[in-house]
Structure formats: C-alpha cells, structure tokens
Amino acid sequence: MLVDYQCPQCGAPATIEETDRLFSCGFCRVKSFLLSRVYRYLLPCCNAGNRALVFFPYWRFKGIFFSCTRQGIGYRILDISHQAVQCDLFPASVGLRSQAMKLRFVSPATQGYFLTPTLPFKDVLDAIQNRYEQDLAPPVFHRDFIGDTLSLLYSPFYVDHGIVDAVLDSPICGELPLNFDLFALPGGDTDWTLRFIAAQCPTCGWDLDGDRDTLVLHCKNCDSAWQAGKAKFTPLPLVHVPAETDDEVAWLPFWRIQAQSQGVRLASYADFARLANLPRVIQTKWETQPFMFWSPAFKVRPRDFLRLSRRIILEQPRGDWPPTIPEGFLYPVTLPVTEAAGALKINLAAFMKPPGLLYPRLSEIQIKPEVSTLVYFPFQLKGHDLVNTALQIRINRQTLVFARSL
Ligand SMILES: [Zn+2]
Ligand SMILES: [Zn+2]
C-alpha cells in the first residue's frame, strides 16, 4: 500500500509505504517520525466538479487471528476492510482497492463530509472473528488478534439521484430511498491530522537512526533507544547479548516481558516447567528463577512467530547483559511490544500439556505485562540462514524479507 505524503518540515512531496514510520526527506534532509496510532487514509477521488463529497469510513484490519481449540493453535492472516458505519447503500468493504491504489493521508484541508465511524472497531473485529470461528471445531477456548495495523480508509462518494462512487465515477445505487438524507448521518469536517515529530534524540539532540519501518530509534551518540509515545519519544530499556564469535553477526530484536499472571501459577521457571510438563527433572534453583515471556520484536509469519517464541521461552536466556546498542547490522523492531504482549496467552497455550485438560482453564487466566525490555541477540550469517546456536534458532533470511511487508 503506497501513500502520497508531504514532508512536514519543507512540504516536499514523497511517496511512502504503509509500513513506513521514519521518513527522511530527500530535499531538506530532516527526518520525521510518524506518531499516530490509527492512520486515516483517503482513496483517490475522480473529478466530481462542484458536487459535495461524502467520505464513507471503513475499518481496515491487518494482522493475525490466533485460535485455540482441541486441535491445538490455529491461525489465519487477516487483511480486510469493513464498514465503520452500518449502511446497506454503501459497499460492505473497499475490496482490493486499498492495495491497488495510491492513498493520501486525511488532513483538515480535505473538503467533504466525513461520516463519523459509529461501529466501534472492537465490535467489527468481534463479528469478523465470529465468522472465522464458524470454520473451527468448537469449543474455541481462546482467540487473539495480533494486529499491528488498524486504520480507517475513507472512500469518496457523491449524490446524483443515487449514490455515485467517486473513485471510479460510477453509480452504486439507482434512486435513493424516499426520505433518505445522507447528510443526516453523523459527520462533518475533519480535523484529523497526521502527527509526527522530528527524529532527534531528546537527550542530546543528535539525529536518531533506524530503518524506515522501525518502531524503535537509536541514538548512536548517547547510546540510547527510543520509542514513540503519544506525543513524544520515550526511552526504552535495551540490552544486548554479546556475540561469542568474531564473525560478522546480525542483531535481531526480541521482547522480554515480565508479567503478572492470574488464574495460573507462573512466578518461577519451575512453575512453568510443571505447567508445560517439561521432560526434565525440576531443579531447586528453578523455584527462585523468575519466569519471563519472550517474543520476537519483528514481524514474522504466524508459524515462525509461534516457533521462535516457543524456543526462546523454553530456553529462558539470562545474563548480566550490557545496556548498550551493539555494533553492526540491527534488524528493525517492527512488532510493537503491545502486540507481543497481546500474544502472551497464545504463547502460553502452546506449552500447556496436556492441552485438552488445560485449555478450558484459559478463560480464567489473565496475563498482565509489567516490565518490557528490548534484547538484541547476535545471529551468525550461514548461507541463507541466520543462526543463533545458544538459542538453537535458525531463521531463513528470505522469511524475514517477506514478513516485513506483512
Ligand atoms: Zn523536507
Ligand atoms: Zn542522544
């Protein structure tokens, strides 16, 4: 998905990708970081003359739907749009248009009547999940949606006897029902605007570094890491696990999440070993070793997400690691900690043994993340793979390239 964009510093036009967060202007060289949580886009509009445009909103969901049934953990990649206002006169979704067309960000300068989304996205997401659940063998013990993209797409229409789709300039319904007044639906001008900040270190003023789709920026000058809060950058605790080799390594980011669990005893690694029925003798020292959740901090396909999380949770790596940014190639953080935290229960469910006995307890279990740290692990480049021998993890490099656009 491509978006037309203007540099907030100098106004120079540019095209960015939907996943881009850090924008380097080719003209003024200033780097800007996009802040908004839910982006609002406009589909392109035909020349509608003097006619008043109506912008109809659609929620767009992009992410992974996980489910937990007797068969184990299932998943499905979702990329769909759905009406954010209940109205049969308009198309139910934008179909494939969002992928095929160049979008623009909504701005207060956009002239037209913006209908107010009246269906909360949670309700729409529930309805979508319920639909998918019908394909699953009941009971569904737990489900989660790990979505890093939630946005609003506005599609333009105008009224000429009936309603006309102003993307293609073609009518979508003949005559309007009697007494129907489109402008009586809640709506009005928009004051939404894309929020951004200059990508400069709040501590020392140095330019922050990162890939265009990264959620975490680094300051090489004062060795700090930053993520976007609501209106400004907030510091992020970070460590790296030193490499045991002089060979070239790539650094992959992972989230280490300390969480409070209710409905299940999960204070120590010993608790975890019992829950997962690990084929190991429980050692006394495990009783005092705090249990940590782990997750990749980058987007991967659902199967890899489960595999990587599982491997590293099982390993429970620990150490007195330096709180500094490692030298060399850093793979960008593309999965926010909020999404990683949303998947903790799924990650836990993957370990429960025997599943049939424990899954029914999932609904009573609450896992509340408390402390999150970004941890960089070194991975050696071996052929097509990235390998960390200590963690026994091997990742195909092509998988990472592909998953970046997920
Ligand atoms: Zn510029
Ligand atoms: Zn700095």
DSSP codes, 169-226: TEEEESSPPTT--GGGSSEE-------EEE-B-TTT-PBPB--TT-SEEEETTTTEEE
pLDDT at residue number 405: 66
Question: What pLDDT digit, counting tens, does each position of 115-162 carry?
Answer: 999 999 999 989 888 888 888 888 999 998 887 668 999 999 998 888
Distance 14 CA to ligand 1 centre (A): 9
3-17, 66-80, 347-361, 387-401: which range is least confident on average?
347-361
Q: Tell me the pLDDT of the chain averaged across its residues.
A: 91
CA of 302 to the centre of ligand 2 (A): 35
| Ion ligand 1 contact residues with beta carbon within 5 A | 7, 9-10, 12, 25, 27-28
Closest ligand relative to 25 C-alpha: 1
User: Strand runs (DSSP E) across 220-365, as ranges?
Assistant: 224-228, 233-235, 238-240, 249-262, 293-296, 329-330
Q: Which amino acid would we find at residue 125? A: L
Q: What is the pLDDT of residue 406?
A: 62
171 C-alpha to ligand 2 centroid (Å): 55
128 vs 388, more confident: 388
Q: Is the entire prediction scored with pTM above 0.75? A: yes
What is the tens place of the pLDDT at every residue in 165-178?
999 999 987 778 88
* Domain assignments of the chain as residue spans, ordered by start: 36-188, 237-403
What 8-state DSSP symbol labels residue 402? H
Confidence tier at 192 by pLDDT (50, 70, 90): very high
pLDDT for the residue numbered 148: 64
Q: What count of other Cβ atoms lies within 10 Å of the Cβ of residue 177?
A: 8
| DSSP designation for 268 | B
CA of 29 to the centre of ligand 2 (A): 19
d(CA 298, CA 400): 9
Q: Are 59 and 85 in contact (CB under 8 A)?
A: no
Cα(34) to centroid(ligand 1), Å? 14
Question: Of the ligands numbered here, which is closest to the C-alpha atom of 223?
Answer: 2
Give the separation between CA 248 and CA 116, rounded to whole angstroms: 53
Q: How far is the CA of 281 from the centre of ligand 1 (A)?
A: 61
Give pLDDT, residue 333: 95
Tell me, what's the pLDDT at 313? Answer: 95
pLDDT on residue 231 = 87
Taken in order 91, 97, 102, 104, the sign of the CA dihedral is positive
Spacing, Cα 235 to ligand 1 middle (Å): 26
pLDDT score, position 160:
86
Q: How do residues 279-324 score in pLDDT, each as one tens digit?
A: 888 899 999 999 999 999 999 999 999 999 999 999 999 999 999 9
Mean pLDDT computed over 267-281: 91
Binned at pLDDT 50, 70 and 90, residue 399 comes out as confident
**Residues, the chain:** 406
3-class SS at 362?
Answer: helix
Which run of H or E residues covers position 61?
strand 54-69
What pLDDT does residue 135 have? 87
What pLDDT does 37 receive?
Answer: 79
Separation between Cα atoms, residue 400 and residue 211, nearest integer Å = 14
Q: What is the pLDDT of residues 198-230, one digit of tens each?
A: 999 999 999 999 999 999 999 999 999 999 888
Question: Which ligand is nearest the CA of 199, by number?
Answer: 2
Measured in Å, residue 252 CA sits from the centre of ligand 2 at 22
pLDDT, tens digit, 9 for 90 and up, residues 20-71: 999 999 999 999 999 887 899 999 998 888 889 999 999 998 889 999 998 8
Does residue 9 have a pLDDT over 70? yes
Cα 216 to ligand 2 centroid, rounded to whole Å: 14
Q: Rounded to an integer, what distance in angstroms lies between the CA atom of residue 282 and that of residue 321?
A: 26
Closest CA to 295 of 326, 340, 348, 333: 340
User: At 11, is the pLDDT very low, low, confident or very high (cuts 50, 70, 90)?
Assistant: very high
